[in-house]
Amino acid sequence: MIRAVIVDDEDLARAVVREFLARHAGIQIVAECANGFECVKAVQELKPDLLLLDIQMPKLDGFEALELVDLDRLAVVFLTAYDQYAMRAFEIHAVDYLLKPFSQERFDAALARARERLGQRPPRAAELAADARPPGQPLERIVVQDGARVHVVPVDKLDWVEAQDDYVALHSQGRVYLKQQTISSLEARLDAMRFLRIHRSAIVNLERVARIEPYTKDSRLAILSDGAKLPVSRAGYARLKELLDARG
């Protein structure tokens, strides 16, 4: 028996998937979710085999929900009305994607692929979520799981990022959120005109930089508007000066 979870913020869309699944034996719908938060909770608690996941949802979208769940032995089929969001990643990582509106025949083909995929080693959630987004589209928010809680950090509220081994500490409005992700992978997803890697262990929001002060012969300190002091390497200072000059 394949245990499935349907995630879509539209009642009608969930009803269509439910109807298509009803024509297949050996499928049990264990949960229906209307948003990404419900999806994360359902996957964590119910451990389904198959996730039929919408992309465009309020509060927490399908990509962000994926970052917070364990993909071990979980087959993911995406549901989307916008093929530009995930075409490349679906071909590489996901079981399949269904472009709305989809037919019963197209759904059956995706389900057949899901049956084949079950039990195989899945991609890492961060890789799938990152690759699924269109190339060149910067992050607008970052999701962080803290036990049973999920925090959504808007990128425009992000002050700076600190590397801590395989984690990053996200400093935002006086709070710190720890996320399991390398600083290099996060750097690649941030808007390069707004965020700059000024040191191997630090990325800064340029809007938060108040001034630059000398520190040692080959390094400087970036003083942020909240008083935080960040190390600036020689290479980081050259990049910082170039960007700040360009911004006037």
Whole-angstrom distance, CA of residue 149 vs CA of residue 79: 26
What is residue 92's predicted lDDT score, i.e. its pLDDT?
A: 44
Beta carbons of 3 and 30 less than 8 angstroms apart: yes
Instruction: Find the CATH number of the domain harbouring 120.
Output: 3.40.50.2300
Cβ proximity of 177 and 147 under 8 Å: no
Residue 222: DSSP 8-state = E
The verdict on 73 and 102 lying in the same domain is yes
Q: Do both 112 and 186 map to the same domain? A: no
Same domain, 126 and 155: no
Provide the domain count of the chain: 2
Last residue in a domain, options 71, 99, 132: 132
Task: Give residue 146's pLDDT.
Answer: 84
Q: Are residues 115 and 214 in the same domain?
A: no
177 and 194 in one domain?
Answer: yes
Clarify whether residues 171 and 235 are in a common domain: yes
What's the confidence (pLDDT) of residue 34? 96
Q: Examine the domain organization and report whether 6 and 93 are in the same domain.
A: yes
pLDDT of residue 125: 52
- Sequence length of the chain is 248
Pair (165, 114) in one structural domain:
no
- pLDDT confidence of residue 206: 93
Q: How does pLDDT run along the chain (248 residues), one tens digit per residue?
A: 999 999 999 999 999 999 999 999 999 999 999 999 999 999 999 999 999 999 889 889 888 888 888 777 788 898 888 766 555 555 546 788 888 999 999 999 999 989 988 856 555 555 555 555 555 678 889 999 888 788 999 999 999 999 998 899 999 999 999 998 999 989 988 999 999 999 999 999 999 999 999 988 778 999 999 999 999 999 999 888 888 777 66
What are 99-157's pLDDT values in tens digits? Answer: 899 999 999 999 998 998 885 655 555 555 555 555 567 888 999 988 878 899 999 99
| Whole-number pLDDT of residue 130 | 56
Q: What is the pLDDT of residue 22?
A: 95
Q: What is the pTM of this model?
A: 0.72
Can you tell me the distance from the alpha carbon of 183 to that of 201, in angstroms, rounded to the nearest whole number?
7
Question: Which pair of tokens denotes residue 129?
Answer: 């979520």
Domain boundary among 85, 108, 132: 132
CATH number at 181 reads 2.40.50.1020
Shared domain check, 49 and 119: yes
Question: What is the domain range of residue 89?
Answer: 2-132
What's the pLDDT score for residue 175?
95
pLDDT of amino acid 247 = 67
Q: Are residues 192 and 108 in the same domain?
A: no
Q: Do residue 198 and residue 120 come from a single domain? A: no
- Pick from 132, 155, 179: which residue ends a domain? 132
Compute the Cα dihedral for 235, 206, 221, 246 and give only its sign.
Answer: positive
d(CA 248, CA 243): 9
Residues 28 and 79 in one domain: yes
